[in-house]
Amino acid sequence: MKLYRFLTGPDDASFCHKVTAALNKDWELSGAPTYAFNAATGLMQCGQAVVKEVEGKDYDPDMKLSEQ
């Protein structure tokens, strides 16, 4: 099964750590990162899609993707 996640966060080191943690759990980058202004918070936000192939499991909408 192929899994998809979209990671988001403020434009700071915490976002980079979030993406780094996913990469170290065998997730792969998918597409270009995004960068946008959040008018509600007044901060820049980052986003990055990641995908991962998992063998021997079936998709379940209740699964926690971050734990895969």
What's the rounded mean pLDDT across residues 18-26? 97
| Domain contains 25 | yes
According to the model, what pLDDT value does residue 45 have? Answer: 97
In a domain, 62, yes or no: no
Q: Supply the range of the domain harboring residue 42.
A: 2-56
Domain annotation covers residue 12:
yes
The answer to whether residue 51 is domain-embedded is yes
Overall domain count for the chain: 1
Is residue 43, in this structure, part of any structural domain at all? yes
Task: Report if residue 49 sits inside a domain.
Answer: yes
Residues 6+ apart with CB under 8 A from 2: 51, 52, 53, 54
Mean pLDDT score, 44-66: 93
How far apart (Å, rounded) are the C-alpha atoms in residues 28 and 48? Answer: 10
Q: Residue 63 domain-assigned? A: no
